[in-house]
């Protein structure tokens, strides 16, 4: 950290601020309150949580962390608020709120599990909850709490409400929503460190187009965009699509992710670790704990499970990833896969183990993968036309405006891929047979499993 930034709105003069030199955004000024948060143990843990989970196994440069990203979100939110204030858009917004919103951006990922989002794909109660639901634990860390309460006595509750998307603040959308600056930041940063040309977003145009608007149907004011910023919004949407298709859901990234999830799933099922032990760990600390517990597993079935976990941890470290046996893009499926495919519950595991048997592979060596992030492409946003007309973006679009929500739905179906992976030996499976299998309802799947009917027959 460098010298403190000059005094300005929101500066906590009781504690010196600082400047962090960031390779993406340049100098990021921290006010005194933000510096206290950053210096806390709860926030420093984010230095050791990779932003993109297992993507570094494919893109070696993707070693950036949640720490870097959180600083970037804080920076963008402060820029957005400064711009809105300069344009007179914050006259009705409480000055305290203007200070809490950047802190919410800074802390929005503080509850993340090791390797970021991967474990959130596991079913509850296997995990204690989504990272945003865990945020409250970390906000109540004594150092974090003290920093936030130096701004407002009820600051912790207000920051948590902003992070969870439940605040009535007009600035809620900067932290959580269709236009939250978290998305802008991670797209730019992830593209930079992965070395891919897909994350281009016209950030300046987008920030300059932000407005606080009151819905024409009535209700509380919210963050929207002027029509001049719609082109930047389009760039955001297409950047997101390109990054999901080429980075986040790259087949080898997903292979590493399903292997990691299986390690944790089996360790939890065997009692090698407890669900609450997943909270507050760093990436390498969790892998070390899993390997240590697996190495000291008891006898019987627990010993066999421990052996499998140890072997999978070693495979992950050696980048011996599951291989694709079949894949089909969601847009090409004749029928949408049944709900059981989107979980990591007992039924899906039973299907995977039956498929392993049919493919002459050991139990635990087959993985069905159909990632879902429907909210990542949804748009619910107010736009003010140059004529002064106010409208909410709709799937069908409006004259002169692309139908962004409808486009988003189509992009999601094109980016999403159903895959079958195998570990310990490549097998090629008819993709059509897999597509038909995953479309079967739960009851039919259970009946086939009980009767011993081949699943790929």
Considering the domain architecture, whether residues 314 and 396 belong to the same structural domain is answered as: no
User: What is the structure's pLDDT at 33?
Assistant: 98
Considering the domain architecture, whether residues 335 and 431 belong to the same structural domain is answered as: yes
| Residue 4 falls inside a structural domain | no
Considering the domain architecture, whether residues 230 and 200 belong to the same structural domain is answered as: yes
Is 270 a residue whose pLDDT tops 80?
yes
User: What is the structure's pLDDT at 401?
Assistant: 59
User: What is the structure's pLDDT at 224?
Assistant: 94
| Residue 438 falls inside a structural domain | yes
Considering the domain architecture, whether residues 377 and 446 belong to the same structural domain is answered as: yes
Comparing 104 with 298, the larger pLDDT belongs to 104
Pick the last residue of a domain from 321, 339, 362.
Answer: 321
Is 10 a residue whose pLDDT tops 80?
no
Considering the domain architecture, whether residues 22 and 143 belong to the same structural domain is answered as: yes
Pick the last residue of a domain from 227, 247, 267.
Answer: 247
| Residue 11 falls inside a structural domain | no
User: What is the structure's pLDDT at 405?
Assistant: 65
Q: In 3-state terms, what secondary structure has residue 119?
A: helix
Lowest mean pLDDT among 16-30, 116-130, 172-186, 332-346: 116-130
Considering the domain architecture, whether residues 301 and 447 belong to the same structural domain is answered as: no
Considering the domain architecture, whether residues 93 and 180 belong to the same structural domain is answered as: yes
* Confidence at 315, pLDDT banded by 50, 70, 90: very high
Q: Can you say how many angstroms the Cα of residue 111 is from the centroid of all Cα atoms in its chain? A: 12
Contacts of 436 (CB under 8 A, 6+ apart): none
User: Can you tell me the mean pLDDT for 22-26?
Assistant: 98
Tokens of 402: 């692309």
Comparing 385 with 1, the larger pLDDT belongs to 385
User: What is the structure's pLDDT at 299?
Assistant: 53
Lowest mean pLDDT among 111-115, 121-125, 201-205, 445-449: 121-125
* DSSP H/E element including 384: strand 382-384
For 151-164, the DSSP string reads T-TTHHHHHHHHHT
In this predicted model, what pLDDT tens digit does every residue of 57-109 receive, in sequence order? 999 999 999 999 999 999 999 999 999 999 988 988 999 999 999 999 999 99
Is 298 a residue whose pLDDT tops 70?
no
In this predicted model, what pLDDT tens digit does every residue of 233-261 receive, in sequence order? 888 888 999 999 999 999 999 999 999 99
In this predicted model, what pLDDT tens digit does every residue of 113-136 receive, in sequence order? 999 889 988 877 778 777 777 899
User: Can you tell me the mean pLDDT for 259-285?
Assistant: 94
| Residue 2 falls inside a structural domain | no
Is 149 a residue whose pLDDT tops 50?
yes
Considering the domain architecture, whether residues 298 and 416 belong to the same structural domain is answered as: no
| Residue 8 falls inside a structural domain | no
Pick the last residue of a domain from 321, 344, 364.
Answer: 321
The 8-class DSSP code of residue 94 comes to: -
Q: In the chain, count of helices (H) and strands (E)?
A: 18, 9
Considering the domain architecture, whether residues 217 and 278 belong to the same structural domain is answered as: no
Considering the domain architecture, whether residues 95 and 240 belong to the same structural domain is answered as: yes
Considering the domain architecture, whether residues 237 and 300 belong to the same structural domain is answered as: no
| Residue 378 falls inside a structural domain | yes
Share of the chain above pLDDT 90, in %: 72
Secondary structure (H, E, C), 284-297: HHHHHHHHHHHHCC
User: What is the structure's pLDDT at 400?
Assistant: 54
Q: Whole-number mean pLDDT of the chain?
A: 90
Which residue range is the domain that position 41 belongs to?
18-247
**Distance, CA of 263 to CA of 315 (rounded, Å):** 10
User: What is the structure's pLDDT at 301?
Assistant: 67
Q: What's the CATH number where 170 sits?
A: 1.10.3210.10
Q: In 3-state terms, what secondary structure has residue 7?
A: coil
Considering the domain architecture, whether residues 375 and 431 belong to the same structural domain is answered as: yes
User: Can you tell me the mean pLDDT for 4-23?
Assistant: 66
Domain count, the chain: 3
Is 218 a residue whose pLDDT tops 90?
no
User: Can you tell me the mean pLDDT for 442-446?
Assistant: 94
User: Can you tell me the mean pLDDT for 179-203?
Assistant: 94
Is 9 a residue whose pLDDT tops 50?
no
Is 24 a residue whose pLDDT tops 90?
yes
User: What is the structure's pLDDT at 13?
Assistant: 45
* Confidence at 11, pLDDT banded by 50, 70, 90: very low
Q: Helical H runs in 359-439? A: 404-415, 431-438
User: Can you tell me the mean pLDDT for 433-450?
Assistant: 95
């Amino acid at each position: 950290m460098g010298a403190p930034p000059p005094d300005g709105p929101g500066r906590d003069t009781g504690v010196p601020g600082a400047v962090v030199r960031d390779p993406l955004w340049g100098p990021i000024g921290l006010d005194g309150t933000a510096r206290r948060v950053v210096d806390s143990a709860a926030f420093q843990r984010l230095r050791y949580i990779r932003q993109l989970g297992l993507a570094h196994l494919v893109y070696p440069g993707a070693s950036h962390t949640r720490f870097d990203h959180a600083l970037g979100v804080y920076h963008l939110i402060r820029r957005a608020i400064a711009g809105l204030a300069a344009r007179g858009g914050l006259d009705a917004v409480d000055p305290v709120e203007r200070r809490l919103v950047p802190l919410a951006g800074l802390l929005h990922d503080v509850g993340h599990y090791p390797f970021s989002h991967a474990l959130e794909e596991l079913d509850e109660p296997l995990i204690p909850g989504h990272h945003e639901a865990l945020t409250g634990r970390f906000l109540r860390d004594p150092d974090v709490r003290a920093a936030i309460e130096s701004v407002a006595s009820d600051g912790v509750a207000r920051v948590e409400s902003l992070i969870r998307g439940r605040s009535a603040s007009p600035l809620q959308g900067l932290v959580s929503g269709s236009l939250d600056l978290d998305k802008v930041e991670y797209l730019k940063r992830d593209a930079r460190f992965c070395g891919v040309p897909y994350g281009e977003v016209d950030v300046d145009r987008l920030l300059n187009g932000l407005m606080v608007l009151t819905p024409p149907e009535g209700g509380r004011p919210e963050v929207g965009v002027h029509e001049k910023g719609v082109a930047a919004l389009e760039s955001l949407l297409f950047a997101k699509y390109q990054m999901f298709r080429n980075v986040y859901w790259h087949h080898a990234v997903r292979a590493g992710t399903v292997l990691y999830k299986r390690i944790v799933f089996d360790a939890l099922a065997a009692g090698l670790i407890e669900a609450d032990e997943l909270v507050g760990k760093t990436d390498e600390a969790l892998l070390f704990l899993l390997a240590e517990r697996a190495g000291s597993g008891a006898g019987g079935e627990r010993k066999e499970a421990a052996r499998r976990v140890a072997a999978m941890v070693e495979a992950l470290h050696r980048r011996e990833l599951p291989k694709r046996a079949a894949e089909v893009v969601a847009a090409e499926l004749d029928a949408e896969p049944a709900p059981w495919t989107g979980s990591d519950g007992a039924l899906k595991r039973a299907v995977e183990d039956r498929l392993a048997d049919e493919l002459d592979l050991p139990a635990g060596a087959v993985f069905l993968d159909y990632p879902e992030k429907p909210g990542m492409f949804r748009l619910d946003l107010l736009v003010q036309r140059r004529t002064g007309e106010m409208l909410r973006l709709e799937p069908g679009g409006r004259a002169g405006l692309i139908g962004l929500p409808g486009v988003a739905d189509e992009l999601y179906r094109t980016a999403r891929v159903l895959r079958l992976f195998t570990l310990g030996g490549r097998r090629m499976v008819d993709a059509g047979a897999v597509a038909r299998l995953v479309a079967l309802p739960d009851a039919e799947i259970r009946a086939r499993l009980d009767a011993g009917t081949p699943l790929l027959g």
